[in-house]
Structure 1
């Protein structure tokens, strides 16, 4: 089966809130259901989000629901010298989702969300996307829209 998926999806938004406020939001995995249109519920094993933390998700597309598991693979809070970097790998498809936070000159945050595939996407995931989720191209378009919607919702909460 050919790898007919986008290797990198990303979008960026400017938020009028300090990086520590935005960091607190993006690292709150259970709250992701408020922002991501695909996530129904997330539960962190042990309740604490830090490097190596494992979690489970319930995802959705229309009436369809499916579980996934994730593990935090990068957890670098922002400092004056370095941007913040928070990432997790999804077990079932090997994708890595991340948030990069950079302070802006005006005291806000530039937030970038990415979906990367450093080790490709699993064959089973590619097959299920084709058969159950409408195919790679439509599903990738849905993910792009979902990233934008997630960023806009995080921005609204951070600026509230």
Structure 2
């Protein structure tokens, strides 16, 4: 029961979805294990949870990459509904990244990975994206591809 991750952009919100042959509890255990995100995300080099435990309000630090470029971001968990919705806000750019899990009709789990922009993207982030990361359109395409690859790698991990 595999579907290829499908990605789309609406305005500045991004979304990728896949159906995996695993329970929401199994998927939840992976997507909330923030320290393991570099195993799946092509953009994340390292994630460290401050205080050691992922829960509502927990904070963590990421190191991200694009080719040889590296930059840190800080995040706070803003939604934490076990086996359903895990989301964190990135302080530097105001975006919210999330994993939403729903039981699939014929078994398994529909996993939706989103980048939400309810408050827009910070001016500093927009300027840095233009200057250092190739511009908004190419960087958005890179993020969408990375979101799909993240989901495909999570699916592969669940299949092992």
State the TM-score, normalized to the length of structure 2: 0.92
- Paired with 2:131 and 2:11, the residues of 1 have a C-alpha distance of 18
Q: Secondary structure at the match of 1:146?
A: helix
Query: What do residues 57-92 of structure 1 show as CA deviations (whole Å, max 9, x unaligned)?
Result: 0000000000000000000013xxxxx000000000
Question: What is the match of residue 51 of structure 2?
Answer: 46
Greater than 4 Å deviation, 4+ residue runs: none
Residue 23 in structure 1 maps to residue 28 in structure 2: yes
Residue 8 in structure 1 maps to residue 6 in structure 2: no
* TM superposition shift of 1:7: 1.9
Question: What is the match of residue 81 of structure 2?
Answer: 76
Question: What is the match of residue 68 of structure 2?
Answer: 63
Give the aligned length. Answer: 151
What is the aligned-residue RMSD (CA, Å)? Answer: 1.1
Question: What is the match of residue 127 of structure 2?
Answer: 127
Unaligned 5+ residue runs, structure 2? 1-9
- Paired with 1:24 and 1:93, the residues of 2 have a C-alpha distance of 27
